[in-house]
Structure 1
Amino acid sequence: MSLKKASLLIVLILLIDQISKIYIKTNFMLGEQVEVFSWFRILFVENEGMAWGAKIPGDYGKIILTTFRLFAIVGIGYWLWKSIQDNAPKVLILSVSLIFAGALGNILDSVFYGVIFDHSMSQVASLFAEDNYGHWLKGNVVDMLYFPLYDGILPEWMPIWGGERFVFFEPVFNIADSAISLGFALLILFNKKAFPKED
């Protein structure tokens, strides 16, 4: 896979990711949802931290996280560039391109969204608002894809969780998260092709 093709893929993912996030942010209030199918909803949530909503505590936790992400994206970018220069297998370049695009998509939220949007609590946010909700490096990541494939009460006979409500799949995510997950999945599934042993 050439640098041109990898770059086009990255730009395409970033465009879809950012257009979808800006649309949700400027048309939905926080917590608002639209049911597309019984098993798929558009649900607007914001993620202050990492995957699964995990956060680094403290006043500077978000800045530390965003700074780490910025260093990580440089490393991933170098990995991608080196893989292309070394004529690595296509599946490796494709995977790293997906991971890079997804990571960059979420970094854009973290770096810029706090200063270009106002808040979404009980109102629809405005783009380039004068009264922004955060600061540089402190923006929240916009998530909207929700797939509650099963939402019900677990049978009473089940140990520990019997009788409790259970939702599968509960996390809400975005296009960037999907690209990262797909990239890692390809690396796992096609590990031998991505990292062939030298003779």
Structure 2
Amino acid sequence: MSFRKSLLLIGFILVVDQWSKIYIKTNFTYGEIVEVFSWFEINFIENPGAAWGAKLNDFLPISEGTAKLVLTVFRLFAIFGIGYWLFDIIRKKASSIYILSVSLIFAGALGNIIDSVFYGLIFDESTRTQVATLFADNPYGSMFHGKVVDMLHFPIIKDAVWPEWIPYFGGSTFSFFEPVFNIADTAISTGVGILIVFNKKAFGKDEGEKEDTDSFSEEHQSSLNE
């Protein structure tokens, strides 16, 4: 997979991700739910922290603002690290599956960091009675303090009940799948999933490069025999 194709993929994911977030943010009130199918709904929420809504200040004795700043700075360093990783494997002509996976991870990480860095500057607050405005006069935050917009929810099982015989959980209700996520999260999860499932192909050489190497070896061996 070439550098150009990788950039096109990253650009496409970023456009779809940011378009979906801006559309939801400027057309939905906070917590608004629209059922598309019985197993899929648009559910607008915002995540001020890390994965699953976790916050650093839940674990460390720091303010919520400081925790958000630390998390965003960490994400920025991670973006540079993933970007170098992607550049390096393209330069080394790694397998297309490997480059595809890292491209997806990079695009997803970059999509969410855009929210964290800029959304606090360009949107006002989303509430249960107010739809946010893009490029608002009174933004809800500052640079590095934006909230990540999530909207994709797949409640495949709703309000099911655990059997009574199951220890601790017996009799309580549960739903599957609870998390609400976005296009960027989907790209990251897909990239990681491909690396896990196709790890042998991912970390092997591309077929084209392998053929070139084999061809060079045969020619080199032939010249030695002569």
Provide the TM-score with structure 1 as the length reference. Answer: 0.97
1:154 has 2:198 as partner: no
3-state SS of the aligned residue for 1:132? Answer: coil
Residue deviations 1:3-31 (CA, integer Å, cap 9, x gap): 00000000000000000000000000110
3-state SS of the aligned residue for 2:55? Answer: coil
The code of the aligned residue for 1:24 comes to I
Partners of 1:33 and 1:134 lie apart in 2 by 25
Partners of 2:94 and 2:117 lie apart in 1 by 32
Match of 1:92 in 2: 98
Identity in percent: 64
CA displacement at 1:153 relative to structure 2? 2.0
Partners of 2:148 and 2:42 lie apart in 1 by 15
Q: Give the 5 Å matches for 1:1-199.
A: 1-57=1-57, 58=63, 59-121=65-127, 122-151=129-158, 152-196=160-204
Q: Is the 2:117–2:144 contact (alpha carbons within 8 Å) kept by the matching residues of 1?
A: yes
3-state SS of the aligned residue for 2:136? Answer: coil
CA displacement at 1:193 relative to structure 2? 1.4
Match of 2:223 in 1: none
3-state SS of the aligned residue for 2:56? Answer: coil
Q: Is the 2:43–2:152 contact (alpha carbons within 8 Å) kept by the matching residues of 1?
A: yes
Q: Is the 2:44–2:151 contact (alpha carbons within 8 Å) kept by the matching residues of 1?
A: yes
Provide the TM-score with structure 2 as the length reference. Answer: 0.85
CA displacement at 1:107 relative to structure 2? 0.2
CA displacement at 1:131 relative to structure 2? 0.8
Partners of 1:188 and 1:133 lie apart in 2 by 39
3-state SS of the aligned residue for 1:60? Answer: helix
Q: Which runs of 5+ in 2 are unaligned?
A: 58-62, 206-226
CA displacement at 1:163 relative to structure 2? 1.4
CA displacement at 1:164 relative to structure 2? 1.1
Residue deviations 1:85-123 (CA, integer Å, cap 9, x gap): 100000100000000000000000000000100001121
Q: Which runs of 5+ in 1 are unaligned?
A: none
CA displacement at 1:192 relative to structure 2? 1.1
**RMSD across aligned C-alpha pairs, in angstroms?**
1.0
Q: Which has the higher helix share?
A: 2
3-state SS of the aligned residue for 1:7? Answer: helix
Q: How many residues align?
A: 197
